[in-house]
Amino acid sequence: MRRVAVVTGANRGLGFAISEALATLGLHVVLTGRDERAVVDAANKLLAAGLDVSAHQLDITDPASVARAIADIGFEHGKMDVLVNNAAVAIDRARPAHSADMEIVAATMNANLLGAWRCCIAAIPQMRQGGYGRIVNVTSHMSLLSTMKTGSAAYRISKTALNALTCVLADEVAGDNILVNAASPGLIATRLAYGKAEHAPAEVVDTFTWLATLPDDGPRGQLFHERRPLPW
């Protein structure tokens, strides 16, 4: 039976590229996003290319929206095998921690950490029921403690926290054939880009599709870039 993957923030950029790549590999991909019209339009582009996809509205900052969307997807397809937590915000450009706007910090944490966390909470019971799951959290090189520095503090800390969540969840579900990992795309040309982009989204999807389709003995609780582990 065809695997079912859910990608958040899939109407453009990296999320759209990951969705296209997973569908090309033969998965049914549910593109999700806050703007229903935008995510339906994105799915229609892939449907026109002959790919097996669908669309569903999902706002990661709204607990009710997350619960409803994941339940709907599970009911419609009978299962949920893969979750790619891609949706995120980057709204504190260059802002240092000592002068942070705490409303911006809260909004950043709500999307980048709690949004992914909500999706995991909703998805894991379905994955456990099916005896299979792959969760891929999209993080950033800016999250690495080994190279941590000033600027964009809310974004950096939110993604570092997402890395920690990856480790915790990976350990919790280790006996359920659910593999949880994170990956950084590096500098890519999207609306969230910090600094000069080095690649287009379609050029960096390999690591994400690899983690989304790992064999049962694959890695868990690790952070990757270009299929190589990154120092936390």
Q: Which domains does the chain have, with CATH numbers?
A: 4-229 (3.40.50.720)
Active site residue 155: yes
Q: Which of 30, 46, 87, 155 is catalytic?
A: 155
As a whole number of angstroms, the distance between CA 104 and CA 76 comes to 36
Cα–Cα distances (Å) from 66 to 8, 42, 115, 135, in that order, read 10, 20, 8, 16
- pLDDT mean over 209-213: 98
CB 88 within 8 A of CB 34: no
How sure is the predictor about 190, in pLDDT bands with cuts at 50, 70 and 90? low
How sure is the predictor about 189, in pLDDT bands with cuts at 50, 70 and 90? low
Q: Which of 17-31, 140-154, 171-185, 197-211 has the lowest mean pLDDT?
A: 197-211
Residue 25: the pLDDT is: 98
How sure is the predictor about 227, in pLDDT bands with cuts at 50, 70 and 90? very high
Residue 187: the pLDDT is: 81
Helix 116-130 / helix 153-172 crossing angle, nearest 10 deg: 20
- pLDDT mean over 48-62: 98
- Residue type at 7? V
Cα–Cα distances (Å) from 28 to 87, 136, 156, in that order, read 19, 16, 32
pLDDT at 90 over 80: yes
Q: Give CB contacts under 8 A, 24+ apart, made by 75-80.
A: 77/4, 77/28, 77/30, 79/1, 79/4, 79/126, 79/129, 79/130, 80/4, 80/6, 80/123, 80/126, 80/127, 80/130, 80/133
Q: What is the pLDDT of residues 123-138, one digit of tens each?
A: 999 999 999 999 999 9
As a whole number of angstroms, the distance between CA 49 and CA 7 comes to 18
As a whole number of angstroms, the distance between CA 60 and CA 43 comes to 19
